[in-house]
Structure formats: C-alpha cells, structure tokens
C-alpha cells in the first residue's frame, strides 16, 4: 500500500496539472528544462552547503525509512512476554531475548537490566540516548525544511535572469516578449511548487515520524524501569500506554 505522504504529494501535483488544463493552458509551456535545472541544482547545492554530507545522507536514509517503514513494534505484548518470562525465570533469562530484538533502544534497555544496572543509571543512559536520537531525527526534518526555504528564493533568481534576457531583446515582437516573460516566471512557479508540494510535506512527514519514535522510546524507557522494579502487569501497562499510538 502506498504511503499517505507519497499519495498526498502525487494528489497535489495532479491537482496543479488539472488546474493548468482547466485554465486552457498547455502543459508543454510549463515544462522548461533550464528553469528546472536551476531550481533543482540551486536548491540541492544550497542545502548541501548548509549541512555536512553525513547529515544529508542521514536525512535521506531517515526519509526512506519513514516512507517504507516496517510494522511498528507491538510494545505492550513485547513487554508482557518479558514480564511473564522474568516472573518465572528471573531477569537474567531475558539476555537471549535481548539479542534477538531489532529495536536497538529496547535492546539496550533490556541488556542494562540483565547487567544488573541500578534504576537511576538505566534511566540516565536511556534518556541521554533518547534525547540524542531525537536531535538527529529533527535535524533530518530540518534538512528538507531548509530546502523548502531555498527553493522559492532561487525561483525568484531564475525569474530575474529570465527578465534580464527579455529586456535585452526589447526589439523583438510583442508575441516573443510575451513568451519570454511567461518563461521567466516559470522559475518562480517551480520554486514555489517544489517547496510546498515536495520539500515541506517530506519535512512534516519526518517530524511526525520523529515524534512517533520519540513516544516509542519513552514508552520503552518506562517499560524497562517497570520491568526491572518487578511491578505487576497492570502497572506496567499503565506506564507505557500513554506513549503508544492507537
């Protein structure tokens, strides 16, 4: 099934194309390769100049993971299984289960329990890891937000360049001048469209995903502490449920 973000972007682009046709304009007149290259190249270049290559690569990787993510971990049932096993066999019995976990944050938490760390140490370690990961996730969203800021401005630059060319050829006929001015404004059209139909939606998707993962990590933190302290199953559920999306 197609991700809602991708579906929404395609729907937005389709709406613009349909509006152009309903206005009686030709789609061909809105496809201008020099303007496209200026906006795409200028936006990408300015964004790369604003961040390190590793941050750009991380943002792209996070976006891919966000759009093609696997099913979220069923934290409630996972902790129930840990609780049942720990109650029967003790906390040390969770070591093998921890090694099989795909979630590195949960794996770290269970391993800290198995290692016999005290609750305060566990909370500090997990909270620091949580905050650092949250910063990285929000920075990835900021990369696309930055691109959305550059895109319209570079579009204006393209329009100015086009108008300069038009003014240099004022001796041309009215029809030629009209076509030149229309072409010049295509750059602004591209800049605004890229920002609002592509970069901002992708940035918002990353922010939404970062928030969901933040809640998941906080649920894991509280579940790990409840598991270690030997709280009953109902209290364990009460600890993690506020952070689990229904």
Q: Specify the pLDDT at position 205.
A: 94
pLDDT-wise least confident of 2-16, 43-57, 159-173, 217-231: 159-173
The end-to-end CA distance of the chain, in Å, is 20
More confident residue, 3 or 195: 195
What are 120-127's contacts with CB under 8 Å, separation 24+? 122/224, 122/225, 122/228, 123/221, 123/225, 126/217, 126/220, 126/221, 126/224, 127/221
- What residue spans define the domains of the chain? 34-243
Distances (CA, A) of 169 to 40, 177, 215: 27, 8, 60
Q: Specify the pLDDT at position 154.
A: 93
Q: Specify the pLDDT at position 170.
A: 65
pLDDT of 115 above 70: yes
Give the tens place of pLDDT for each residue, 101-113.
888 999 999 999 9
pLDDT of 246 above 60: no
Per-residue 3-state assignment (H helix, E strand, C coil) for 43-96: HHHHHHHHCCHHHHHHHHHHHHHHHCCCCCCCHHHHHHHHHHHHHHHCHHHHHH
Give the tens place of pLDDT for each residue, 6-24.
899 999 999 988 988 888 7
Q: Specify the pLDDT at position 173.
A: 61
Q: Could you tell me if 226 and 241 are in contact, meaning their C-beta atoms sit under 8 angstroms apart? A: no
The three-class DSSP label of residue 242 is helix
pLDDT band at 26 (very low <50, low <70, confident <90, very high): confident
What tokens were used for 95? 């070591």
Alpha carbon distance 92, 10 (integer Å):
51
Report the mean per-residue pLDDT for the chain.
88
pLDDT of 42 above 90: yes
**Burial letters 203-240, b for 16+ CB under 10 A, else e:** bbbbbebbebbbebbbbbbbbbbbbbeebeeeebbebb
pLDDT-wise least confident of 60-69, 125-134, 205-214: 60-69
Spatial CA neighbour of 123 closest among 228, 213, 210: 228
Phi, psi of 3 (to 5 degrees): -65, 140
More confident residue, 80 or 3: 80
What tokens were used for 185? 């404004």
More confident residue, 3 or 207: 207
What tokens were used for 197? 């139909």
Alpha carbon distance 72, 81 (integer Å):
17
Contacts of 218 (CB under 8 A, 6+ apart): 130, 243
Burial bucket for residue 41 (CB in 10 Å: 0-12, 13-18, 19+): exposed
Q: Specify the pLDDT at position 231.
A: 85
Q: What average pLDDT does range 177-182 have in this prediction?
A: 69
Spatial CA neighbour of 246 closest among 72, 101, 83: 72
Spatial CA neighbour of 227 closest among 28, 78, 102, 41: 78
């Amino acid at each position: 099934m197609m991700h809602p973000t991708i579906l929404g972007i395609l729907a937005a682009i389709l709406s613009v194309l349909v509006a152009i046709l309903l206005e009686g304009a030709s789609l061909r007149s809105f496809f201008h390769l020099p303007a496209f290259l200026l906006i795409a190249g200028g936006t990408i270049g300015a964004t790369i100049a604003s961040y390190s290559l590793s941050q750009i690569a991380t943002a792209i990787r996070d976006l891919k993971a966000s759009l093609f993510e696997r099913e979220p971990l069923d934290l409630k049932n996972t902790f129930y299984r840990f609780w049942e096993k720990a109650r029967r066999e003790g906390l040390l019995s969770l070591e093998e289960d921890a090694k099989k976990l795909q979630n590195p944050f949960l794996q770290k938490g269970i391993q800290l329990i198995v290692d016999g760390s005290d609750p305060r140490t566990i909370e500090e370690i997990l909270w620091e890891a949580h905050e650092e990961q949250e910063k990285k996730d929000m920075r990835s969203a900021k990369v696309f937000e930055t691109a959305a800021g550059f895109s319209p401005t570079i579009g204006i630059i393209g329009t100015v360049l086009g108008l300069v060319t038009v003014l240099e050829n004022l001796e041309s006929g009215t029809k030629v001048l009209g076509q030149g001015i229309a072409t010049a404004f295509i750059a602004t059209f591209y800049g605004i469209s890229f920002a609002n139909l592509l970069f901002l939606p992708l940035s918002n998707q990353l922010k939404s995903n970062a928030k969901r993962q933040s809640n998941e990590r906080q649920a894991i933190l509280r579940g790990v502490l409840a598991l270690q302290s030997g709280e009953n199953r109902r209290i364990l559920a009460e600890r993690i449920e506020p952070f689990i999306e229904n």
